[in-house]
Amino acid sequence: MSFIEDILLWLSLRPKILGEITLSPTQKALEQKYREAIAKVMGVSPEHIREDISEKWLKNWMKAFIKPEYWKLYGLE
């Protein structure tokens, strides 16, 4: 395995190893809309809303609607 392949493998496994949240482009767009809406309600700029918290919110929101047996399919475990 080459150095580049090792790096690509690490990058692909990193979220699972470190428990990081990774969102698909569609999920990211939903998270952005949520952040903009909550910022508007709070009277602050969307850039002032913590991205890590809004991403966690999205994951937990999805878990609330999707049956647990399908969480892995959508990257929610």
* pLDDT at site 54: 87
Burial of residue 31, with CB atoms counted within 10 A of its CB: 0-12 exposed, 13-18 middle, 19 or more buried = buried
Residue 55 pLDDT: 85
Can you give the residue ranges of every domain in the chain? 21-74
Q: Give me the pLDDT at residue 51, please.
A: 86
Q: What is the mean pLDDT of each run of 10 residues along the chain (77 residues)?
A: 66 56 78 90 93 86 90 79
For residue 24, what pLDDT is reported? 77
Q: Where are the alpha helices (DSSP H) in the chain?
A: 3-18, 25-42, 51-65
Three-state SS string over 36-48 comes to: HHHHHHHCCCHHH
Q: What pLDDT does residue 1 have?
A: 61
